[in-house]
Structure 1
């Protein structure tokens, strides 16, 4: 037990101990109803491969499940890797700079191992979330605010991110407004022929609502 505690709260394992503790606290809060997870794993989520986040998640097969679940599994896998690496090999590097250098090598390796383990674990879970959220995503998020990630004014199209119920969505958008990166807009209509959402600026949407 003493060895477990010592490794858990020593570098580099302590980094993932903290992250895993945050994830556990998040799930505990969600259990008492303070966080709503409904809709977080919609399988119709449009994650574009050209965006950093969307491309990574699609490549690893992490789409279709709630982002909090993905992060929790990632932290758990990284924690286990760092823990056993430190337990079995940490003593070989002493307690000084040698151990710090050892930890700096373990951290990225643990993240990679955790990411690969997460990619394997979420695949059998994806159908569960697909069945759990049968209402089309495009109907669920109409009226939601988004933040523009990129926009080509000449083509009137781009991409935006939406944070909804713990899920981070990256969506294709179209608009006749002059939008720039980090502008706030509102999804007002789904365009099935383009698999994109028509958006207006948040100011325009609020002005129309108040009018």
Structure 2
């Protein structure tokens, strides 16, 4: 165990070990409903101005590498897993062959570079069958979804956090006033589209009925 830890926290493996630890924590929090799966997709899905240009550029390089069609979290995780695995094996079995030919730093730099070069196409290959699970629904204006009843998929929803799924499987970012009693699995209604935040304001069905009665 000590030998393994020494390997994964030594250069160049540590370059991919630390991101792998961070990504693992993100996945655990996403599975627990504490984070949105697309938390890293900033700048790749904007609607106006410079943000739209940045989003287009981000999508463009993802498409060129074959890493598009899934959340950026998925792409980065696959790349890091492959790069980490290659680096670990190369450092353990191939690097000793170049002792006396290259310095340890040079060996590490070469191994890390090759790891990324190998990880990108392998990740793109794995992403192909995954795209159908992350279908992008097009042709429906975002404000046309107002009034749709969804199911909250995160543990809670607040002014800054929340995610829900529509009956046809669309995953949406949602927001609600705090404090509230809305929890995972509750039915909520989209009542407004917040353009600046690219998300929906929601209330429970009972709250919507109360609002309708008072008006």
Which category describes the TM-score, using the shorter chain as reference length? 0.5 to 0.7
Greater fraction of residues in strand: 1
Label 1:85 to 1:40 Cα distance change in 2 as closer, same or farther (>3 A): closer
Q: Are 1:128 and 2:130 counterparts?
A: no
Match of 1:69 in 2: 74
When the two structures are aligned, how many residues end up with a matched partner?
144
**Per-residue Cα deviation, 1:102-137 (whole angstroms, up to 9, x for no partner):** 00111121111111111000000001222xx65767
What pairs up with 1:1-211 in 2 under 5 angstroms?
1-37=1-37, 52-94=57-99, 98-130=103-135, 134=137, 138-139=141-142, 186=196
Q: Is the 8 Å Cα contact of residues 38 and 73 (structure 2) preserved in structure 1?
A: no
In the alignment, the residues of structure 1 paired with residue 125 and residue 144 of structure 2 have an alpha-carbon distance, to the nearest angstrom, of 29
Partner secondary structure for residue 89 of structure 1: helix
Q: Is the 8 Å Cα contact of residues 38 and 72 (structure 2) preserved in structure 1?
A: no
**Per-residue Cα deviation, 1:51-100 (whole angstroms, up to 9, x for no partner):** 543222112222110110111111101101111110112223459x7111
**Per-residue Cα deviation, 1:124-182 (whole angstroms, up to 9, x for no partner):** 0001222xx6576752799xxxxxxxxxxxxxxxxxxxxx97xxxxxxxxxxxxxxxxx
Label 1:36 to 1:82 Cα distance change in 2 as closer, same or farther (>3 A): same
Q: Is the 8 Å Cα contact of residues 40 and 65 (structure 1) preserved in structure 2?
A: no
Q: Is the 8 Å Cα contact of residues 12 and 82 (structure 1) preserved in structure 2?
A: yes
Across the aligned residues of Structure 1 and Structure 2, the Cα RMSD in angstroms comes to 4.0
In the alignment, the residues of structure 2 paired with residue 109 and residue 87 of structure 1 have an alpha-carbon distance, to the nearest angstrom, of 15
User: Based on CA coordinates, which of the two structures has the bigger radius of gyration?
Assistant: 2
| TM-score normalized with structure 1 length | 0.55
Label 1:82 to 1:6 Cα distance change in 2 as closer, same or farther (>3 A): same
Match of 1:201 in 2: none
Q: Please report how far the alpha carbon of residue 8 of structure 1 lies from its aligned counterpart in structure 2 after TM superposition.
A: 1.2
Label 1:69 to 1:10 Cα distance change in 2 as closer, same or farther (>3 A): same
Unaligned runs of 5+ in 2: 47-51, 146-161, 164-194, 199-215
Partner secondary structure for residue 57 of structure 1: helix
Unaligned runs of 5+ in 1: 143-163, 166-184, 189-211
